[in-house]
Each structure stands twice: as C-alpha cells, then as structure tokens.
Structure 1
Amino acid sequence: MKAGNGLLMLLTKHLNKEFLKFLISGGINTLATYLMYLFLLLFYNYSLSYSVSYIAGIFLSYYLNSVFVFKEKISFRKFLKFPIVYLVQYIVNMLMLYVLVEYAQFNVQIVPLVAMIITVPITFILSKMIIKSK
C-alpha cells in the first residue's frame, strides 16, 4: 500500500508543478493579450478586439506551454492541432462576452477576465493532451 501512496504523491506533485507552470504561462499570456485587447478597443469594437488578441494569444500560448510548462519540442503537427483547444474556449468566451456585455451590462474591459476564469481548467487538460501526444 505504501508504494501506491508514494506513486500517488509523486503524480500529484508532478501534476501540481505542471499546473502551476501552466498558471504562470497563462498569466503571462493573459497579461499580453489583455493589454492588446485594451489597445485595440481604442480603434475597434469589443468583438473584433477580442478576436485579434485571442488569435495572438494562441501563438504565445503554444510556445509557452510547449517550452515552459510541458518541456516538449515545438512541433508543427502539434501546433496545427493546438488551436482546437482554443476554438472551443473561444466559442464559450464569445458567448459569455455577448451575454455579459449585451444583457448583464458588464464593462467590456473586464468581461474577458471573467470568461477566462471559467475555462482555465479545461484548457489545461486539453493543452496537455495535445502537446504531450506522440
């Protein structure tokens, strides 16, 4: 039974370390894309501003997750699969943006932050599945 507990502890420690790195890289990515979103709001509506900053964030996220979080080599094949994770997240986030801005009258500057809180765990699991795949 002790060996099983030791394996469980090691697995939990490893997953927590990866998730912590994921949160750090996500924080960097969030800050970069949020600043881009705010800048773009000066020129465009919230939907276009969010879309452009979101696409830029996919590129940054793939790089940070591959190199920093999961310590995997950059792969063109995995990069092509990676946006699937964010397509799902994008659709959920855009729906939330629309509902929260148009119906709940939330401020367009904070709505993306609210939406991201909901999708982070799902994004971690799907990102890991793609980046760590063989």
Structure 2
Amino acid sequence: MSVVEEPIWLTQDALRHLEQELDTIVREGADDDQSQARAVELRGIIRRAQVGARPDDGVVEPGMQVTVEFAADGSHETFLLGSRALIGADGDLAVFSPESPLGQAIAGLLPGDRFEYRTPTGATVAGAVVSAVPHA
C-alpha cells in the first residue's frame, strides 16, 4: 500500500527560492550531513510542490494564511501555516509548522472557532481564528 503525500502549496517565488537553495547545495558539492539532509528535505518539498493558491474552503490547514486573535491581550498575528523549510522563502510572513503547538491547536478550525494550547513552558494560550485564506 502506498502513502499518499499531501501537496505543499507554494507561491512561484517560494518554489524558485527553494530550487535555488538546492542548486547551491548541489553546485557546491556540500557533503556534510546537515547539507545532505537539507538537500533531501528540499527535493521532497519540490517534488510535492503545488504552485498557486490552495482551494479556499476556509478551513485552517497547511498552505493557508491564518490570522488569529489571542484572548489574553486581543492582539492579532498573521502567519503561513506550513513547513518550517519555507521560513524566509516567501518574504516577511511568519511561518508556523502544523506540528507546532499552535498549528496543532488550530488545524481543521474555521474562522470564529476558539482554540487553546499549552506552550513548551507550560503556559496556556487561548484565542480564536479570525481568518484562513489561501496564501497567494
């Protein structure tokens, strides 16, 4: 039985950035373990890349630009829910991994839904999803 891999939704600029990073690793012949591991990771992301906007169903899931409001102070944060490998690949937008405490707490939610999670330090954070739109 084969495993179905979910596509990774990227902008054209983000894909280009990742391809350039992989090209640099290959061109420089980096043979240290860290560079080789990064090359494997990049190849996997590029293979699964789907360029364009993820379908807009309003559900918080990888590839969506999400805005949340934190209950403690009413502050808002907007970020891309996606692979940590995309940090810096798409401008200044922060990236949160779906495996992070926040990512796990909001996965599958819709705007207006409330969430709560524990930070690695043990603090409880609560809030609500304000919006979830495909990242363009």
Task: Report the TM-score range of the alignment, normalised by the length of the smaller protein.
Answer: under 0.3
